[in-house]
Structure 1
Amino acid sequence: MTLVAAFLTDTMRAIAFLSRLRVPARFFEGDDGRMGRTVRAFPVAGLLITLPASLVFALSLALDADPLLAALLALGAQTLVTGALHEDGLADAADGLGGGRTRGHALDIMKDSRVGTYGVIALVLTLALRAVAIADLADHLSAAGCALALLAIAALSRASMVWHWSQLAPARETGVAAGAGQPQPVAVTVALATGVVLAALLLLAAGVTLMAALIAFAAFAVTVPLWTRYVRKRISGHTGDTIGATQQLAETALLVALAIFA
């Protein structure tokens, strides 16, 4: 298999892992479910997964829709594509880490499919912040620029998942994250490099000022390590929920920074 074909296979597997989009079965021939190499394609997969939402936002703005309405439509489209996978992780992580008295108690809460007070608050706050921040982009960028900015954030926030994943051992012996294995060091490097480069190019192409882009990167660089450090302190490892929560927190931090400084 050539390098291009291998990366395409990883991208398709990453799309299937991160969304509800159907991927042809041929891309899973010989697949053992391990994600060690596949994670390198997370930024590209995230960009493709977010493409429908970015188009919905740009088209809504072009049709003179209110920016907040356009933002909510874009978030709705994104939720349909991803099945609210990362939002579910955020809610479970907030419930477990917020309500768990001990490491074991926190992990037990995170396994519970019910959503508690911490989870609801986390979802409401992040959805509200994302919606308002996305709407605010329309005051600074063209419709096409807004779409490109959303794609940039999608790529970089998926790279954050890989970094968080690589920094912590599995908190449980079983589960989605444990079964998927640890990211390969080379794959982590590729994911981070791809996410940063794609985000930088897309933000600049969107018309975001260099200063605003640098501040957004700084917000990202602070949020993700602090979250990872907190998770390590509370449960000494990652779970699928904390990985998903990482994406949500990274996306929110990037959007808020751009909304304020773009």
Structure 2
Amino acid sequence: MLQISDHIDDIARATGFLSRLPVPARYFTDHDGSLSRASGMFPAAGLVIALAPALVVLALSLMDANAALTALIALTVLIAVTGALHEDGLADSADAFGARRGRDHMLEIMRDSRTGTYGVLALVISFALRATALTIILSVIGGWNTALALLAVAALSRAAITWHWTELPPARREGVAASVGAPGDGASTRALVSGAILFLGLAAVSIGILPAVLGLGAAALAVSQWTSLVRRKLNGHTGDTLGASQQVAETASLVTLALLL
């Protein structure tokens, strides 16, 4: 049975994998690099990652700052914290699928560090939707509640990664996704259940129970459709499609919450 110290270790390792936040080296000493267990703490890591952006929203709202600028600054901080890890996955996936070529060619495009037209468009659309949704949410419910909503979305979208991860086999044997292993059954369940509970609890308190339920449903539907698309195109996941799944869930849930205000 896992001890509290095990959960703390897993949160630290998950945070280190999903962000550029400094994590003490002791959490990785004599560790094999696998995320099979630590992936169960992805939603908790999402809370850690979103803490700084949430505090930015709160601080700027207390200063009566412009809602649109506050949303843009908060998203910029969030991207800085993650090192644009998930955005990079979204862009690479869009470029690969937009090419309309065979599976091997799409995987080769994902290895290319350059960003093409489809990738740029995906990033612009994703950022615009999230910024607009966050602006609306902040304008209607204020800084405290928006900070809670941002934490809720961060937890849920990281849980979405494990869902996509467990639904598909690795598309290739090498690469980051294959090297760190797949979430174990217990870890996947832990991530999905805790992610849903955190989202429903925080979103219900900040916005309302109906928007929370519908926001969860929208994220689940969006990630399910994304996973089906990846299955048809690649018959397996990559590190890029994992990152894109987070962006899909985050965008779907934020937009749904904003639409229901």
TM-score (norm 1): 0.97
Distance 1:212 1:80 in 2: 28
Paired letter, 2:76: G
Render the CA deviation track for 1:177-215: whole Å, top value 9, x for unaligned.
010111101100000011011111111221x12221121
Q: Which residue of 2 aligns with 1:225?
A: 224
Q: Which residue of 2 aligns with 1:253?
A: 252
Count of residues in Structure 1 that have an aligned counterpart in Structure 2: 261
Aligned counterparts, 1:10-49, within 5 A: 10-49=10-49
8 Å CA contact retained: 1:153, 1:199: yes
Distance 2:62 2:118 in 1: 37
TM-aligned CA deviation for residue 30 of structure 1: 2.1
8 Å CA contact retained: 2:35, 2:180: yes
Q: Which runs of 5+ in 2 are unaligned?
A: none
TM-aligned CA deviation for residue 119 of structure 1: 0.2
Matched-pair identity in %? 49
Higher mean Cα deviation, 151-160 or 18-27?
Answer: 18-27
Q: Which residue of 2 aligns with 1:235?
A: 234
8 Å CA contact retained: 2:200, 2:209: no
Aligned counterparts, 1:53-132, within 5 A: 53-132=53-132
8 Å CA contact retained: 1:11, 1:44: yes
8 Å CA contact retained: 1:171, 1:237: yes
8 Å CA contact retained: 2:95, 2:119: yes
Q: Extract structure 1 runs of 4+ deviating beyond 2 A.
A: none
TM-score (norm 2): 0.98
Q: Which runs of 5+ in 1 are unaligned?
A: none
TM-aligned CA deviation for residue 12 of structure 1: 0.2
Q: Which residue of 2 aligns with 1:212?
A: 211
Aligned counterparts, 1:177-188, within 5 A: 177-188=177-188
8 Å CA contact retained: 1:46, 1:155: yes
TM-aligned CA deviation for residue 2 of structure 1: 5.4
8 Å CA contact retained: 1:43, 1:154: yes
Distance 1:219 1:44 in 2: 21
- Within the alignment, does 1:138 sit opposite 2:138 as a pair? yes
